[in-house]
Amino acid sequence: MNRIDSLRKKVDELNEQLLDLLNERAKIALEIGKEKQRIGKPIYDPIREEEILTRLIELNPGPLPNSSLIMIFREIFKACRMLQEQQTDSQLLIKKTKEKEQTTITVKGVTIGGDTPTHIFGPCAIESRTQLEQVAEALVKTGCRLLRGGAYKPRTSPHRFQGLGLEGLQLMKEITEAFGLVSVVEVMDERTLQEALPYIDIIQIGARNMYNYPLLKAIGQIDKPVILKRGLSATIEELKLAAEYILQAGNPNVILCERGIRTYETATRNTLDISAIPVLKNETHLPVIVDISHAAGRKDILLPLARASMAAGADGIMAEVHPNPQFALSDANQQLSLEEFYAFMEGLKE
């Protein structure tokens, strides 16, 4: 064996030792990652990394210069961090697995996420007893069980109707109880959440609040199902992780809602992202519904959008219905009249 060969043999042996040591280190990093996840500590800890580097520089006997040492160890930190993040991602609570394929949620005898499609209809905003009663009656006539209606409205302009608040909640409770329906009402923050809770069956988190992480954490502590709407410009990943906040905080009953996203298109109010439906159905075990009214912003294309949503695998649809849409205090252009609603329901059966 010549000198180069024998030196190379040593290098090979050292590489193998390094390989073992690196994997040993990765295993311990994974253990640390698990522990951090358990106590809710972030994976990335730049201060700790700097401390390690400072110590290694102090100990460095050379000939490797400190700059190379730093470069190598930064790569090692990064690789271990990526491993830890992969481990955390594979353990997401929303993730569809063989053991958990589909969440079903039952409220007052109505099951969401099961074999029967979920139909949620009702006015954009609760405006009066007569208005809500008329819609409730139409729902009962068509066999729909979920009545939506906003008591707090997230309006673009502060000068527009903001919702009836507590009065609206009281009407919603009275009317859903009288008609045997299940209520869906949006809450805007922790105060309205607490105010609304005694009056409603399903909590809605609107598109504008999908990123409100403190609110998502608060919802996680509530024992009522939640409809979580996709943010106006949120990616599917961001919607999934917003749901993860609620599950992680302790509430497993989350229903995801695609409601259209902002694009350059102006023919519709938003662009209904049909792809989101199969992606969410494939990657999570949560029920997925589609709000076709806020996606379209118009009512002439609701039936094809509903059909497309159901064909793509949605568990149900939501749409706005108002006895006199032309006089509605919000979203007048997109709400179905009662006659249009009956026709829509007939169309859905075809």
Summarize as ranges the residues that interact with Mn ion (CB under 5 A). 124, 331
Binding test (CB under 6 A) with ligand PEP, winner from 294, 303, 322, 335: 294
User: Which residue has the CB atom at the shortest distance from ligand PEP?
Assistant: 206
* Stretch touching ligand PEP by CB under 6 A, among 109-117, 158-166, 201-209, 308-316: 201-209
What distance in Å separates the CA atoms of residue 127 and residue 322, rounded to the nearest whole number? 10
Give whichever of 80 and 124 is closer to ligand PEP, judged by the CB atom: 124
Quick check: 291 binds ligand PEP (CB under 6 A)? yes
Site string for ligand PEP, 215-234 (x = CB under 6 A): --------------x-----
| Choice between 208 and 224, CB closer to ligand PEP | 208
* Residue 329 within binding range of ligand PEP, rule CB under 6 A: no
The size of the chain, in residues, is 350
Q: If contact means CB under 5 to 8 A according to the sort of partner, which of Mn ion, ligand PEP, none does residue 206 touch?
A: ligand PEP
316 scored as a contact of ligand PEP (CB under 6 A): no
- The position carrying tokens 């922790």 is 190
- DSSP E strands: which ranges in 173-279? 182-187, 202-205, 226-229, 254-258
Q: Choose between 207 and 241: whose C-beta lies nearer to Mn ion.
A: 207
Among 186, 201, 244, 273, binds ligand PEP (CB under 6 A): 186
- Asked if residues 236 and 288 have their Cβ atoms less than 8 Å apart, the reply is no
Q: By CB under 6 A, tell whether 145 contacts ligand PEP.
A: no
Q: Render 284-332 in DSSP notation, one character per residue.
A: B-S-EEEEHHHHHSSSTTHHHHHHHHHHTT-SEEEEEB-SSGGG-SS-T
Q: Are 336 and 322 in contact (CB under 8 A)?
A: yes
Number of C-beta neighbours around residue 91 at 10 A: 11
Sign of CA dihedral 140, 142, 146, 149: negative
Please name the residues in contact with 72: beta carbons below 8 A apart, sequence gap of 6 or more: none
What's the maximum distance between 2 C-alpha atoms anywhere in the chain?
98
252 contacts ligand PEP (rule: CB under 6 A)? no
Pairing of strands 118-122, 110-112: unpaired
Cβ of residue 293: shortest distance to Mn ion, in angstroms? 7
Smaller CB separation from ligand PEP, 231 or 323: 231
Shortest approach of Mn ion to residue 330 CB, angstroms? 6
The distance of closest approach from Cβ of residue 294 to Mn ion in the complex, given in angstroms and rounded to an integer, is 6
Q: Is 124 in the site for ligand PEP (CB under 6 A)?
A: yes
Write down the least CB distance from residue 115 to ligand PEP, Å. Answer: 25
Q: Which stretch binds ligand PEP (CB under 6 A): 20-28, 88-96, 200-208, 338-346?
A: 200-208
Residue 66: how many other CB atoms lie within 10 Å? 13
Residue 207 makes contact with ligand PEP by CB under 6 A: yes
Please measure the distance between the N-terminal and C-terminal CA atoms of the chain and give it in whole angstroms: 83
Q: Which residue is nearest to Mn ion (CB)?
A: 124
Minimum distance between the CB of residue 196 and ligand PEP, rounded to whole angstroms? 14
Closest to 234 (Cα-Cα) out of 225, 226, 243: 243
Tell me how far, at minimum, the Cβ of 67 lies from ligand PEP, in Å: 52
CB 188 within 8 A of CB 229: no
Q: Are 113 and 100 in contact (CB under 8 A)?
A: no
Question: Which listed range, 84-92, 113-121, 206-214, 300-308, lies at the site for ligand PEP (CB under 6 A)?
Answer: 206-214
The verdict on 201 binding ligand PEP (CB under 6 A) reads: no
| Residues in touch with ligand PEP (CB under 6 A) | 124, 150, 154, 186, 206-208, 229, 259, 291, 294
